[in-house]
Amino acid sequence: MHAQQMISTHPHVRGQTNDALIRCIEECYSCAQTCTSCADACLAEDNIKSLTQCVRLNLDCADICNVTGRIATRRTGSDEETIRRMLHACAAACRLCAEECEKHAKMHEHCRICAEACRQCMSACEEAGRSMAH
């Protein structure tokens, strides 16, 4: 991804990037794609009724990750409180989605992969939050 390149050229950043936040942005977009794909794969499974909650959490997590990535990417002005709150919410959504996907991971490889992506994003959000702490 080009997040590092783009953000480092921003006039308000002047090369002073928060690498933990940039890694988080990239993990958010990756997780959003993985969750969307997992939800779609769940919908194609024969036992869809048992995957209803998984689909719901996949879609919620994908939306939250997308929005978190977008908000964290914006560098004009300052809204650190909103970014920190979004990182916290995103970490929680990723944890919930990972926990649900892990219930289905032995039967569905897409759920195993998704749980892993969610755990990585959760960790990146937590690290980025710590990097912004006062």
pLDDT tens, position by position, 33-78 = 999 999 999 999 999 999 999 999 999 999 999 999 999 988 777 7
pLDDT on residue 15: 54
pLDDT tens, position by position, 84-129 = 999 999 999 999 999 999 999 999 999 999 999 999 999 999 999 9
- Spatial contact of 35 and 56, defined as CB atoms under 8 Å apart: no
Domains of the chain: 18-132 (1.20.1270.360)
